[in-house]
């Protein structure tokens, strides 16, 4: 005899809803397992092309026992989520950290299209070569791309502008050539950009000025040419700017003085001309200013004395002239003062006698004059390690007070009219 228990509409709804939820979870699990297996197979295939014997990738196997036993991909393939350098979310690869992992070969066969949820890719400090393939732009979710310290060559693909969510892009220490693609200006969320130590040429694209979230820019030591685009002054979040070691020409844009958060401004070893803009005195957060080895003329603007956090000032290797401002060290934090190889005249400012923070000072190969004992007669900060006064027009006797400088390692006075 069978007994039927009546089920109310509310109870029936709950039962049906529970069944639907369980079915959703079940099929999601199957889908996740299938996706995970496909990602594992794609990564394993790439490993087999050029990194088969890599000892760092011994965990990259398709089946825990090392061999396939059936044609069921979801059953036979191990999840990549337990592999070296792989991190997953919901069973899908979202992070690959293969930094310094003895990787070689190229990225030509890398399964970009098979990793739809990849957000972080770090293959830095390896021996990868060849081009950066345009297919890298398939990763619309990519936030961090670190390819520095490899042997990549050829041009940066224009398709890189499709990585709309990218926040950090590290390409430094490679052999990249060609120009910087203007599509870089489409990476509106980018906060850190490093392309230094490559063979990039051509101008700095003005489109860089659209990247309002940039905080760090390093394009140093390439073959970039043309002027510094004034649009860089739009990057008001910028705290680090390095353009040193290029062939940049023209004036230093006065509008760089708008970068109120700038901590380091490095423009050395270029062909920049004209004077040092007085507007740089507005960079109140500045810790390091380098304009050495350019074609700069004129005098040091007194506004630089307002930089209360300035610790490193490199003005050497230019055609600067005039007297040094009296207040160069009025902040009391200046550590390095390098003005050698210019055409400065007059005496060393007496205000430097109060520069108790000074570690290294180089005044060599200028036209400074004055009686040395009067300028540095009692100058001996505890921090001082190097003082270079050579190749000037100083005269008089060398003060015995220099012997009291306990940390002084180097004192250069050659090619003056100084008696010891």
The DSSP result for 171-224, as a single string, is: --SSEEESBPPGGGGG-TT--EEE--SS--EEPPPGGGGG-TT--EEE--SSEE
Determine the pLDDT at residue 182: 97
Q: Which two tokens stand for residue 269?
A: 């070893």
Count the Cβ atoms, other than its own, within 10 Å of residue 22. 10
Q: Does a structural domain hold residue 189?
A: no
* Separation of alpha carbons 122 and 99, rounded Å: 6
Question: Does an H or E element contain 407, and which?
Answer: none
Please tell me the predicted confidence (pLDDT) of residue 20.
Answer: 35
Give pLDDT, residue 33.
47
In a domain, 154, yes or no: no
DSSP bridge partners of 417 = 395
CA distance 136 to 147: 12
Residue 53 lies in a domain: no
Q: Where are the alpha helices (DSSP H) in 71-189?
A: 73-76
Q: What are phi and psi of 97, to 5 degrees?
A: -115, 95
**Does a structural domain hold residue 402?**
yes
> Residue 365 is part of a domain; what is its CATH number?
3.80.10.10
**262 within some domain:** no
Question: Is 383 part of a structural domain of the chain?
Answer: yes
CA dist., res. 206 & res. 214, Å (int)? 14
Range of the domain at 375: 323-420
Whether the CB-CB separation of 269 and 249 falls below 8 Å is answered with no
Number of structural domains in the chain: 1
Sheet holding 104-105, edge to edge: 104-105, 127-130, 151-155, 175-177
Contact 364, 392 (CB under 8 A): yes
User: Is residue 414 in some structural domain?
Assistant: yes
Measured CA to CA, the distance from residue 146 to residue 10 in angstroms comes to 55
Tell me the C-alpha distance between 242 and 102, whole Å: 30
- Spans of the chain below 70 pLDDT: 1-35, 64-77, 376-378, 419-420
Asked if residue 121 is part of any domain, the answer here is no
At CA 154, angle to CA 152 and CA 157, rounded to 5? Answer: 95
Token couple for 282? 């507005």
Report CA dihedral (390, 394, 397, 398) to the nearest 10 degrees.
-40
pLDDT the model gives residue 375: 73
Residue 392 near residue 413 (C-beta atoms within 8 A): no
Report how far residue 1's alpha carbon sits from residue 66's, in angstroms, rounded to the nearest whole number. 56
Residue 15, pLDDT score: 40
Taking alpha carbons only, the member of 358, 350, 395 closest to residue 380 is 358
pLDDT of residue 10: 52
Cα distance from N-terminal residue to C-terminal residue, the chain = 124
CB 135 within 8 A of CB 111: no
DSSP code per residue over 20-77: HHHHHHHHHHHHHHHHHHHHHHHHHHHHHHH-TT-GGGTT--SSTTSS--SS-HHHHS
Beta-carbon count within 10 A of 2 CB: 3
C-alpha dihedral (330, 331, 336, 338), degrees to nearest 10: -40
Contact indicator for 360, 335 with CB cutoff of 8 Å: yes
360 CB contacts (<8 Å, ≥6 apart)? 335, 336, 337, 338, 384, 385, 386
Calpha distance 158→147 (Å, rounded): 16
Cα-Cα-Cα-Cα torsion 223, 227, 233, 235, nearest 10 degrees, comes to -30
């Amino acid at each position: 005899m069978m007994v039927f228990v009546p089920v109310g509409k509310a109870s029936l709804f709950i039962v049906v809803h529970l069944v639907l939820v369980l079915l959703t979870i079940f099929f999601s699990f199957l889908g996740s397992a299938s996706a995970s297996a496909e990602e594992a197979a794609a990564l394993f295939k790439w490993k087999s092309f050029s990194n088969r014997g890599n000892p760092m990738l011994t965990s990259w196997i398709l089946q825990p026992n090392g061999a396939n036993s059936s044609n069921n991909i979801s059953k036979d393939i191990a999840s990549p989520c337990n592999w070296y350098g792989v991190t997953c979310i919901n069973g899908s690869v979202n992070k690959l950290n293969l930094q310094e992992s003895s990787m070689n070969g190229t990225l030509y066969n890398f399964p970009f299209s098979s990793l739809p949820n990849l957000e972080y890719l770090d293959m830095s400090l390896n021996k990868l070569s060849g081009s950066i393939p345009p297919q890298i732009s398939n990763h619309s979710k990519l936030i961090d791309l670190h390819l520095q310290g490899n042997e990549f060559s050829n041009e940066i693909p224009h398709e890189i502008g499709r990585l709309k969510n990218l926040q950090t892009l590290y390409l430094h220490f490679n052999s990249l050539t060609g120009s910087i693609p203007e599509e870089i200006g489409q990476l509106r969320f980018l906060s850190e950009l490093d392309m230094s130590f490559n063979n990039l040429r051509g101008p700095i694209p003005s489109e860089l000025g659209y990247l309002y979230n940039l905080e760090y820019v390093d394009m140093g030591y390439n073959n970039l040419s043309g002027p510094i685009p004034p649009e860089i002054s739009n990057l008001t979040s910028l705290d680090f700017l390095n353009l040193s070691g290029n062939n940049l020409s023209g004036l230093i844009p006065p509008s760089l003085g708008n970068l109120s958060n700038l901590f380091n401004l490095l423009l050395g070893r270029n062909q920049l001309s004209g004077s040092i803009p007085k507007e740089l005195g507005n960079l109140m957060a500045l810790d390091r200013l380098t304009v050495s080895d350019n074609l700069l003329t004129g005098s040091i603007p007194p506004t630089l004395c307002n930089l209360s956090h300035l610790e490193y000032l490199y003005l050497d290797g230019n055609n600067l002239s005039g007297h040094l401002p009296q207040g160069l060290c009025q902040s009391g934090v200046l550590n390095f003062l390098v003005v050698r190889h210019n055409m400065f005249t007059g005496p060393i400012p007496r205000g430097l006698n109060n520069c108790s923070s000074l570690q290294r000072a180089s005044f060599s190969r200028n036209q400074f004059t004055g009686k040395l004992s009067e300028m540095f007669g009692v100058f001996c900060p505890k921090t001082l390690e190097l003082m270079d006064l050579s190749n000037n027009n100083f005269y008089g006797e060398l003060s015995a007070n220099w012997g009291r400088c306990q940390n002084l390692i180097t004192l250069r006075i050659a090619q003056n009219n100084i008696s010891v």
